[in-house]
Structure 1
Amino acid sequence: MQVVFKIVRQDETRAPQIQSFALDVEPGNTILDCLNQIKWEQDGTLAYRKNCRNTICGSCAVRINGRSALACKENVGSEVARFAASAAIPEITLAPLGNMPVIKDLVVDMKDFWGNLKAIDPYVSTASRQVPEREFLQSPDDRAKLNQTGNCIMCGACYSDCNAREVNPRFVGPHALAKAYRLVADNRDGETEARLENYNYSTDGVWGCTRCYNCNSVCPMEVAPMDQIGKIKQEILVRKDGHESRSIRHRKTLIDLVKQGGWIDERQFGLRVVGNSFRDLAGLVSLAPLGLRMIGRGKFPGKFEPSQGQKQVRSLIDSIQAFEATSS
């Protein structure tokens, strides 16, 4: 079958431009196979990363038709079926990973990616090991808690598609926080409390996640970074008072109000989260313009009506919280 590959090409000195390459390929050929064919037969200047060709090293991650993926894992047949099944000559677009500056063509500078990983201190602390010549053994159950996050191959796909990273350059990224949970869950580590304080910091840490689900959807190893971030948040919430920070108040108030009324009483939500239940005067003042506009337009709720099934909602939340407490 014939396929046209449209590759976004650029370097540090010129703007991106699209160059097309027509190939005769088999549906089972991987995208990396096709990149190799283009480089070896049509344009030797094409730049991209590769290494193992077996979905192990993570080197060949690129954006394929708008989503980040491993070029050695995705094949032509599935891409054509997904995006260009009805086209006379199907096209596949390849672009460099997002949220990282481009060095050349499909090769990006991953300096910040690795720097953010380093920022979460991704090493097991052995300070609690009193006998250095002896192994620190784990039970099979304790080791099993680390399996999912241990599968991360640092390909950068989640970082590339992260909306939070795109709008907040200080956000460390889903890759780093997924690794962070591995350390929180590791019973050999002696720095759990200090780590949670670090990961709790402003929107640079776990509270910067917007829960867009992009990282989970593109991860080739099913690490589910957003789920791991959620687990860190839960560990923080268990340890923190409800007035600790706006991020923590937001989460705890949301749950409390839904338990009370089945849905959110927006009048209380703003006062408790932004105004910290009348403890934060600056926050209260910041709510005034919005409140006045809502009143002026007749959109300020005069009373709150609980939703139908309020008791069932509360029961479900209580059951989930009890289950999580038992599991932990």
Structure 2
Amino acid sequence: MQVIIKIARHDQNSGSWYQSYTLEVEPGNTILDCLNQIKWEQDGSLAFRKNCRNTICGSCAMRINGRSALACKENVGNEVARLQELMTRVVSSEVEESDLKGIPEITIAPMGNMPVIKDLVVDMASFWNNLEAVDPYVSTNARKVPEREFLQTPSERSQLDQTGNCILCGACYSECNAREVNPDFVGPHALAKAYRILADSRDAQSETRLENYNEGTKGVWGCTRCFYCNSVCPMDVAPMDQIGKIKGEILQRKDAQASRSIRHRKVLVDLVKKGGWVDERKFAVLVLGNYFRDIKGLLELGPVGLRTLLRRKLPFDFEPSLGADQVRSLIESVRKRKAEGKEHK
């Protein structure tokens, strides 16, 4: 089959542009196969990273048709099918029939949130620096008997299976919306590794680590829960889920006075538990105003509250949702199961 590979090119002297290459390929050929074919047969100047070709090293991460993925994992057939499905979802007036029948085009670009060095090669310094910032190593002082191995039970080791699958490809970091707007946020890859250490029975610095991960919006509270990191992870590490687990550990140790981020979560759950959904009259006052303790926070609400009032969008009463008792029961059940899980550990 014929396919057009449209690649975002970049050179420090020439700037950025897109260049298209027409290839004869098989549906089972990977995107990395296509890049190799271009490099070897059409354009030796094309730059990209690769290594294992077996979805192990993570070197060939790049944006393929708009989302970050491994070039050695994705193949032409699947990408063409995905594109055709997307095209058919578009309003018919916006899509010409010829667009669906022509030579399929696959667009490849460098990963996001990192500066481009050349073509598909990005500078991953911030990625590695943020990983280092969470200290992703088991503490050596946990090894109380240095003369022998520090053994784990199968149950203890199983806690590391999912996060241990991370190959540090950078796909989640590339798609992270929080990282795009907040340069202090360490990123989903770092926090997934952070939870891997927290879950490791050999580590003895959990409390110190949790304090670090709880700091401002550079840690777990910087995550906007957009789910992109989970959707693009090629190894099903689910970084957002791991961030949520760290938040859970922090929330168990802190009360609502600790910070606005913690108060936001606790107030949200408490209000939903009480009424089935959020009572908007109370939410901002309790979170920003810290239960009327924070005068500065209350003053911040003034302009927004006034505009809301003038536009008649401020609710003056609150009616619990249908099924509030069921919602309350579910919250209590989840809390009970979490507590039982902690006891079993």
**Of 287, 293, 312, which residue of structure 2 is paired with 1:273?**
287
- Please give the alpha-carbon distance, in whole angstroms, between the structure 1 residues aligned to 2:214 and 2:278: 25
Shifted more, 50-59 versus 13-22: the winner is 13-22
Q: Which runs of 5+ in 1 are unaligned?
A: none
Secondary structure of 1:216's match?
Answer: helix
Q: Which residue in the other structure is 2:38 paired with?
A: 38
Contact 1:164 1:210 in 2 (8 A): yes
Matched, 1:29 2:43: no
Secondary structure of 1:270's match?
Answer: helix
Secondary structure of 1:44's match?
Answer: coil
Q: Which residue in the other structure is 1:131 paired with?
A: 145
**Of 299, 302, 310, which residue of structure 2 is paired with 1:288?**
302
Cα deviation digits, residues 126-163 of structure 1 (max 9, x gap): 21322211111111000000010000000000000000
User: Aligned pair in 2 of structure 1 residues 14, 170: CA closer, same or farther (>3 Å)?
Assistant: farther
Contact 1:151 1:221 in 2 (8 A): yes
**What is the letter of the counterpart of residue 239 of structure 2?**
P
Secondary structure of 2:108's match?
Answer: strand
Matched, 1:262 2:279: no
- Please give the alpha-carbon distance, in whole angstroms, between the structure 1 residues aligned to 2:271 and 2:84: 47
- Please give the alpha-carbon distance, in whole angstroms, between the structure 1 residues aligned to 2:59 and 2:41: 22
- Please give the alpha-carbon distance, in whole angstroms, between the structure 1 residues aligned to 2:37 and 2:265: 51
Deviation at 1:87, TM superposition (A): 3.5
Q: Which residue in the other structure is 1:308 paired with?
A: 322
Contact 1:12 1:102 in 2 (8 A): no
Deviation at 1:314, TM superposition (A): 0.4
Deviation at 1:297, TM superposition (A): 2.0
Deviation at 1:15, TM superposition (A): 2.9
Contact 2:230 2:239 in 1 (8 A): yes
Secondary structure of 1:127's match?
Answer: helix
Q: Which runs of 5+ in 2 are unaligned?
A: 86-99
**What is the letter of the counterpart of residue 26 of structure 2?**
E
Q: How does 1:145-160 map to 2 (within 5 A)?
A: 145-160=159-174
- Please give the alpha-carbon distance, in whole angstroms, between the structure 1 residues aligned to 2:227 and 2:304: 30
TM-score (norm 1): 0.98
- Please give the alpha-carbon distance, in whole angstroms, between the structure 1 residues aligned to 2:206 and 2:264: 24
Q: What is the root-mean-square deviation in Å for CA atoms of aligned residues?
A: 0.9
Shifted more, 181-190 versus 126-135: the winner is 126-135
Contact 1:253 1:269 in 2 (8 A): yes
- Please give the alpha-carbon distance, in whole angstroms, between the structure 2 residues aligned to 1:236 and 1:57: 32
**What is the letter of the counterpart of residue 116 of structure 2?**
V
Secondary structure of 1:320's match?
Answer: helix
Deviation at 1:243, TM superposition (A): 1.2
Matched, 1:81 2:81: yes
Q: How does 1:164-179 map to 2 (within 5 A)?
A: 164-179=178-193
**What is the letter of the counterpart of residue 106 of structure 2?**
I
Contact 2:5 2:105 in 1 (8 A): yes
- Please give the alpha-carbon distance, in whole angstroms, between the structure 2 residues aligned to 1:178 and 1:15: 35
- Please give the alpha-carbon distance, in whole angstroms, between the structure 1 residues aligned to 2:43 and 2:67: 24
What is the percent sequence identity of the aligned residues? 71
User: Aligned pair in 2 of structure 1 residues 63, 278: CA closer, same or farther (>3 Å)?
Assistant: same
Secondary structure of 1:123's match?
Answer: coil
**What is the letter of the counterpart of residue 271 of structure 1?**
V
Matched, 1:162 2:168: no
Q: Which residue in the other structure is 1:201 paired with?
A: 215
- Please give the alpha-carbon distance, in whole angstroms, between the structure 2 residues aligned to 1:35 and 1:118: 32
